[in-house]
Amino acid sequence: MQLLRQAKRYWFLLPALLIYGVFMIYPMLHSFAISLHEWNGLAPEMTFVGFQNYVNFFQDPVSYRVLKNNLIWIAFSLIFPVSLGLLLAVAVNQNIPGKTLFRSIFYSPAVLPMISVGIIWAWIYNPMFGALNAALREVGLHSWTRGWLADPKTALYAVIATGIWKGTGFPMILFLAGLQDIPKELYESAQIDGAGRFQVFRHITIPLLRETFIIVISLVVVDSLKVFDLVYSMTWGGPGRATQVLATWMYFNTFLYNKAGYGSAIAWIMTAISLIIVFPYIKVMSQR
């Protein structure tokens, strides 16, 4: 009788499992099957090539440029949004007037649509009418003006700067939640013992935010790997392939170059890299 009752409980999971299987599991498996074929996305038949698409990816010189761009994006995202988000969280966690307003202002870029952010910043970077070059001219730095998104040397970093502006608010909110879980008694005890602000930050705040750091870093890295909207709306992967990343390269091969099998292989390579990065986070949280 008890086994029958337990079996009945699982029937309530069946609708959710069916939805998950139809809209998540099946598309993933179908995408993997496509990655094992050479297919233009339209023909009724596909040619089985095994793992050749994966081999072709690592033999393609463009792939190394794409991976390099993604690694640069990840590095800048780990340095700036994470550190700035932590500093902003510490600042707005203080008992200061208008802290709720400051939290809203700092977080507001995170809720804007990515495509809108890309279009706005593309206008800011416009070489003729953009606000950035206009500001540089106003302060006498005419030699610094340039076509930021048209220059292969600056295009990637200009798009990354936009991503930093857009992506700092979310780590700030996560760090703020972590800071509010730290008992205030620890800070009061440290102050009684004569610890300075830097010592308190180093020996109390940072260690007790360990799990928050794991969450933030995992999410930032995964978001950096699958970045698409900003690159697509601001540079379309150009000039040349200076700003091409894995997600846009997957899109181009699948829908523009009619290489659906190769594009699916890139998607699964992105998935594998993301799983490798996220696995430590899942392990730590499971142990907790």
Distance of CA 231 to the CA centre of its chain: 12
Percent of the chain topping pLDDT 90: 60
Residue 184 in this model has a pLDDT that exceeds 90: no
Residue type, 84: L
Does residue 149 carry a pLDDT above 90?
Answer: yes
Q: Pull the structure tokens for residue 257.
A: 């170059």
Residue type, 269: I
Report the pLDDT value the prediction gives residue 183, as an integer from 0 to 100.
Answer: 86
Q: Which residue has the tokens 């809720």?
A: 111
Query: Alpha-carbon distance 228 to 42, whole Å?
Result: 24
Residue 9 has pLDDT above 80, yes or no: no
Query: Residue 24: is its pLDDT beyond 80?
Result: yes
Q: What is the mean pLDDT of residues 46-51?
A: 94
| Higher-pLDDT residue of 191, 126 | 126
Cα separation, 219 vs 281, in Å, equals: 10
70-120 pLDDT, tens digit each: 999 999 998 999 999 999 999 998 888 888 899 999 999 999 999 999 999
Per DSSP, the residues of 226-258 read T--HHHHHHTTT-STTTT--HHHHHHIIIIIS-
How high is the pLDDT of residue 2?
63
Whether residue 270 contacts residue 91, with contact meaning beta carbons closer than 8 Å, is answered with: no
User: Residue 48's pLDDT is what?
Assistant: 94
206-227 pLDDT per residue, tens: 888 888 888 898 889 889 988 9
Q: At what angle do helices 155-167 and 169-180 cross, to 10 degrees?
A: 40
Q: What is the pLDDT of residues 223-273, one digit of tens each?
A: 998 899 999 999 999 898 999 999 999 999 999 999 999 999 999 999 898
Give pLDDT, residue 10. Answer: 73
Alpha-carbon 25 to chain mean position: 23
Query: In this model, does residue 47 exceed pLDDT 90?
Result: yes
Confidence of residue 15 (pLDDT cuts 50, 70, 90): confident
> Which of the two residues, 169 and 288, has the higher pLDDT score?
169
User: Which structure tokens are listed for 92?
Assistant: 């707005």
Instruction: Estimate to the nearest angstrom the gap between the alpha carbon of 253 and the chain centroid.
Output: 21
Average pLDDT over residues 174-185: 89
User: Angle, to 10 degrees, between the axis of helix 169-180 and the axis of helix 99-107?
Assistant: 140
Q: Which CATH architecture has domain 49-287?
A: Orthogonal Bundle (1.10)
> How does residue 131 score in pLDDT terms, banded at 50, 70 and 90?
very high
**Mean pLDDT confidence for 140-147:** 91
pTM for the whole thing?
Answer: 0.89
Q: What is the reported pLDDT for 284? A: 67
